[in-house]
Structure 1
Amino acid sequence: MSAGIWVEQAFNFIIFAILARILGVEAFGLLAMVAAFVLFSEFLVRETISDILLTRDALSPERLNSVFWLLALLGGVLTIALYLGAGLVSKFYNEPIAGELLIGLSPTVLMISLTAVPVAILRREMKFRVLAIRAALGAAVGGVVGIGMALTGYGVWSLVGQRLAMTATNIVMAWGAVSWRPAFHASRDHMRRILHFSHRILGLRAAELAAVQSPAVIIGAMLGPVQAGYYAIAWRVIETASFLMITPLRTVAQPAFGAAARDGDQAADLLIDVMRLTGFLAFPAFAGLAVLSEPALVLLFGQKWAPAAPVLSLMSVFGMYLCAEKVQQTFCLAAGQVGRLAILSWVEVALAAAAIVVLAPYDLPAVTAGFVAVFLLIWPLKFANLGHIAKLPGPALMKQHLAPFLLSAGMALAVFGIARQLDGMSQVLRLLIGTATGIVVYCLLAALFLRDRLRLLIAMVLRKEETGPEIDPQEVSG
């Protein structure tokens, strides 16, 4: 799964960098402003209602049919809503092309809703090789279409063509890999259970996407497409980095948590292991990115994107939060307990939106800092909720991330000192030397202070049956 996702994101990032050089800031800003509505709708049908198929409950044809038709209905309604709302979006942004772009992107919502069940079947059966090939092939086909359209003068519409081609490829691959086909026979009892589960997870997914897409909408409306473009490029880097690190682990962990619960094993032990690995791998990566944001942006996208460096540095802190929070969310989903998490997520959205509006008269870095601060302030409440579900102390779960955070901060200081000494040198050298320094420093610190996590990582990579002694809740609390 890791290999497939890394290949997919490598394709996506290379294509994104090429298109960013061809199209410029304003095109990406326009698409970010419009795509917020489409991505919000896609998220509601991607891994929402279909996640009930990954819980401990047994599958049946009636349950599969019920999930499929509910998703098809939801996808159709959302697609129509986007089409009808295109005019309002144009007026909201005062950009006539915004409505046209929204109409062009809207079919992806229905397309994704029709693919969610076969993807969930593949995940439940842990057929990750198929999912990996599907993701990589979709990215490659979409990239060819997008770059081809950009080179022939389609401008911002090349980004629309890329998205449509990628989604269509994913549909073909997913349905070709499963034998199940939908039928019209659905159970009323299953419908009732699915609706009971789905209204909570839909609320959670809506909050999750609103949290990362609402800034683009508000920034675009209050500061214009150029500032929205700078925010979009910084978020894209964070999104890609977090996707590379956490998505393979999250994708495998959710059905694994469910399988552990079905088999009567201690899913909490697996949660502790996954949390330890997440902080160990993600925190130093984002700490290094925070320090080396300017050379990274200039090297990847060109000098015109350098003003986004302060935003990327601040968003790197959000990247740490995002990776760790995804693990928490995955465990709650597998346990079928997402009600409190959804409420906390909507509190984050409301407070973050208010912070953005209040700080918008200042500048984009101030807006970003306020946005990130809100999520960090709410985070302890999410740990408390996770502890309640896992029957472990919330503060003890928070401590799992303390050591990697402190070591990552120490590594970042070392990289910052080296980077200061390299002022005046080329951005490529600054990035290479800074990255090498960060890797060496963190590996040395990990060898001294986090040997248990190194052993855990090696054990999981080598697929050993035993990854270490079982975790006692009392030991964790100590």
Structure 2
Amino acid sequence: MTDDRVESIGRKAGSGLRWSLLGNTVTKAASFVMSLVLARLLATEDFGIYAVALAATQFVMVVKDAGIMAAVIQWRGRIEEIAPTATVLAFLFATGLYGLFWAGAPYFSALAGSEQATGVVRLLTAVILVEAVTAVRSAALMREFAQERLAIANLAGFAVNATLAVALAAGGAGAYSFAWGQLSGSVATGLIILFLARMPFEVGFDRAIAARLLRFGLPSAVGFGLEAALMNSSFVVVGAILGEQQLGYYLLAFNVSSWVPGMIGTALRYVSLPGFSRLAEDDDSLSEGVRRTVPLLVTFVMPVALVMATLAHPLITFLYEARWDPAAGVLRWLAVLMVVRMITSYLVTDILISTGATKSTVWLNLGWAVALLPALIAGAQLGGINGAAMGHAAVAVLVALPLGVLLLRRQGVRLRPVLPGLVRPALATLVTGLYMVLLTGVFEAAALLELLLVGGSGLLVFALLATPPAVLGRLIRRGRAHVRS
């Protein structure tokens, strides 16, 4: 019965994940092209100012609704009975939060070493007002695994964002081009979600429902807020200690390291939270879902991390021109952070929330934060932007990962069955990493050629080693049949 339940939910989640991946892949690819254009239109200092505003925005985005979205997704009853109260709570909380950030923007910008960022912070954080209006509708679509509608809305919003941002950057708007583009895109996405959700827009307030929503949502909001603070604290530390130009290099490397979390992690969260929430109704089903999911995630993420770590210099040079090469040393360490982020932020956190253990997400990120801030400060002072990245990666591996494992075990999730599935990708990572390092050491060529030969052959080696023989044989037979036909 457990296997049937896992298979049923897995099929729904798989369909939703395919749509999420499609939407995210197209959006991120287009966003990548946009970043290449903006890197040529804007100065390094503009990226530094934007990094400060982005740090503030990413924090408020994850706490904007007091965890109401997560509570709606996890709700065991009918969504219609909670939608009016949930809508009111999300908007009230977002409005109050925006007021605080409007007033505190000058102080936050000064703390990050960029007082010029005040206006950009105030403009960019306004996206939470739009997101608050659509929070319940977005949660309803995620709950139903209707990711195709979310993909349509996000793609349309990005088209508005990119068009306006590039036009403003070409016109000399500087860092404001990012802010106006994202705010306009958010409005477009929100309007489409309101239409596609097909839910009457009703407001109301039920104290009992509000109490239940907040008991679940507030701890998860605090956990997500700490997670966002963790990921963006390095921007504040680097900006305050090393200045805007070094922060611009750091931001570029961080953005590259965030390709996989942004593309795959975001798509995964659209389905993992509702999927694990359904599986969490039965302990055996949840443990089985974890056993199947973790090795797949690790197998997908590790080869990307290897390419980023071993080919950081040609990757940065080819994509962003040689003047951005100082970001390459940072990227090597942030590739390690990327792997841990995918496991803790997009898997462990969602599993904990699905079981109702929202307070555990607070302890996970709080423990990470306590260790991270001293490591960032010491790393930046001793080793510049490379040292800050090194500190970030070390704390992720030595503190965050073990803490996540401990918290899952406390919730009764069986992790021992996961280990056999990790042996093959671990060996593939070790062998492929050694192969790419040796080949890079003896092979010198133009950046693009090095990426194609070293990176391409490295990915092939990893795929051959990490794929189980039975699966590899099946793929070969299908390929041969396709060629013959």
1:466 alignment partner in structure 2: none
Question: How far is the alpha carbon of 1:7 from its aligned partner?
Answer: 0.5
1:20 alignment partner in structure 2: 39
Following the alignment from structure 1 to structure 2, what is the Cα–Cα distance between the partners of residues 279 and 298? 28
Following the alignment from structure 1 to structure 2, what is the Cα–Cα distance between the partners of residues 164 and 41? 14
2:274 alignment partner in structure 1: 255
Are 1:138 and 2:160 matched, yes or no?
no
1:464 alignment partner in structure 2: none
Q: 2:361 aligns with which of 341, 344, 364?
A: 341
Q: 1:354 aligns with which of 352, 374, 394?
A: 374
Are 1:107 and 2:126 matched, yes or no?
yes
Residues 265 and 409 of structure 1: is their aligned pair in 2 closer, same or farther, counting only changes over 3 Å? closer
Q: 2:100 aligns with which of 81, 87, 95?
A: 81
Contact map agreement 1:51 1:120 (CA 8 A) in 2: yes
Q: Deviations over 1:25-44 (max 9, x none)?
A: 21111110222112211111
1:365 alignment partner in structure 2: 386
Report SS of the residue matched to 1:114. Answer: helix
What amino acid maps onto 1:373 in structure 2? A
Report SS of the residue matched to 1:85. Answer: helix
Q: TM-score, normalised by structure 1?
A: 0.90
1:277 alignment partner in structure 2: 296
Q: 1:389 aligns with which of 411, 423, 447?
A: 411
Question: How far is the alpha carbon of 1:239 from its aligned partner?
Answer: 1.2
Q: 1:414 aligns with which of 435, 444, 456?
A: 435
Following the alignment from structure 1 to structure 2, what is the Cα–Cα distance between the partners of residues 41 and 302? 33
Residues 72 and 451 of structure 1: is their aligned pair in 2 closer, same or farther, counting only changes over 3 Å? farther
Following the alignment from structure 1 to structure 2, what is the Cα–Cα distance between the partners of residues 280 and 106? 36
Question: How far is the alpha carbon of 1:400 from its aligned partner?
Answer: 4.6
Following the alignment from structure 1 to structure 2, what is the Cα–Cα distance between the partners of residues 455 and 198? 46
Are 1:58 and 2:77 matched, yes or no?
yes
2:321 alignment partner in structure 1: 302
Unaligned 5+ runs, structure 1: 459-478
Contact map agreement 1:108 1:164 (CA 8 A) in 2: yes
Question: How far is the alpha carbon of 1:201 from its aligned partner?
Answer: 0.3
2:15 alignment partner in structure 1: none
Question: How far is the alpha carbon of 1:419 from its aligned partner?
Answer: 2.0
Following the alignment from structure 2 to structure 1, what is the Cα–Cα distance between the partners of residues 282 and 474? 23
Indicate the larger mover: 79-88 or 216-225.
79-88
Q: 1:374 aligns with which of 388, 395, 399?
A: 395
Q: 1:445 aligns with which of 454, 465, 471?
A: 465
2:481 alignment partner in structure 1: none
Q: 2:263 aligns with which of 244, 248, 252?
A: 244
Report SS of the residue matched to 2:411. Answer: helix
Following the alignment from structure 1 to structure 2, what is the Cα–Cα distance between the partners of residues 174 and 47? 20
Contact map agreement 1:284 1:404 (CA 8 A) in 2: no
Report SS of the residue matched to 2:203. Answer: coil
Contact map agreement 2:52 2:109 (CA 8 A) in 1: no
Following the alignment from structure 1 to structure 2, what is the Cα–Cα distance between the partners of residues 453 and 340? 37
Are 1:329 and 2:312 matched, yes or no?
no
What amino acid maps onto 1:18 in structure 2? V
RMSD of equivalent CA atoms:
2.3
Report SS of the residue matched to 2:78. Answer: coil
Residues 318 and 312 of structure 1: is their aligned pair in 2 closer, same or farther, counting only changes over 3 Å? same
Question: How far is the alpha carbon of 1:454 from its aligned partner?
Answer: 6.5
Contact map agreement 2:64 2:97 (CA 8 A) in 1: no
Contact map agreement 1:276 1:453 (CA 8 A) in 2: no
Contact map agreement 1:45 1:116 (CA 8 A) in 2: no
Report SS of the residue matched to 1:115. Answer: helix
Question: How far is the alpha carbon of 1:137 from its aligned partner?
Answer: 1.8
Question: How far is the alpha carbon of 1:128 from its aligned partner?
Answer: 1.1
Report SS of the residue matched to 2:381. Answer: coil
Following the alignment from structure 1 to structure 2, what is the Cα–Cα distance between the partners of residues 90 and 249? 32
Question: How far is the alpha carbon of 1:13 from its aligned partner?
Answer: 1.1
Following the alignment from structure 2 to structure 1, what is the Cα–Cα distance between the partners of residues 82 and 450? 55
1:193 alignment partner in structure 2: 212
Q: TM-score, normalised by structure 2?
A: 0.88
Residues 131 and 189 of structure 1: is their aligned pair in 2 closer, same or farther, counting only changes over 3 Å? same
Q: Deviations over 1:334-387 (max 9, x none)?
A: 111121231121111121111111222222211211111112112112112112
Counting aligned pairs with the same residue, the percent is: 24
Report SS of the residue matched to 2:82. Answer: helix
Unaligned 5+ runs, structure 2: 1-19, 477-485
What amino acid maps onto 1:87 in structure 2? P
Following the alignment from structure 2 to structure 1, what is the Cα–Cα distance between the partners of residues 244 and 426? 35
Residues 242 and 307 of structure 1: is their aligned pair in 2 closer, same or farther, counting only changes over 3 Å? same
Indicate the larger mover: 21-30 or 91-100.
91-100
1:227 alignment partner in structure 2: 246
Are 1:320 and 2:339 matched, yes or no?
yes
Residues 246 and 96 of structure 1: is their aligned pair in 2 closer, same or farther, counting only changes over 3 Å? closer
Following the alignment from structure 1 to structure 2, what is the Cα–Cα distance between the partners of residues 307 and 456? 44
2:53 alignment partner in structure 1: 34
1:155 alignment partner in structure 2: 174
Report SS of the residue matched to 1:266. Answer: helix
Report SS of the residue matched to 1:183. Answer: coil
Following the alignment from structure 1 to structure 2, what is the Cα–Cα distance between the partners of residues 187 and 455? 58
Following the alignment from structure 1 to structure 2, what is the Cα–Cα distance between the partners of residues 391 and 359? 35
Report SS of the residue matched to 1:320. Answer: helix
1:476 alignment partner in structure 2: none
What amino acid maps onto 1:43 in structure 2? V
How do residues 115-130 of structure 1 correspond to structure 2 at under 5 angstroms? Answer: 115-130=134-149
Indicate the larger mover: 91-100 or 116-125.
91-100
Contact map agreement 1:446 1:454 (CA 8 A) in 2: no
Contact map agreement 1:56 1:259 (CA 8 A) in 2: no
Are 1:203 and 2:225 matched, yes or no?
no
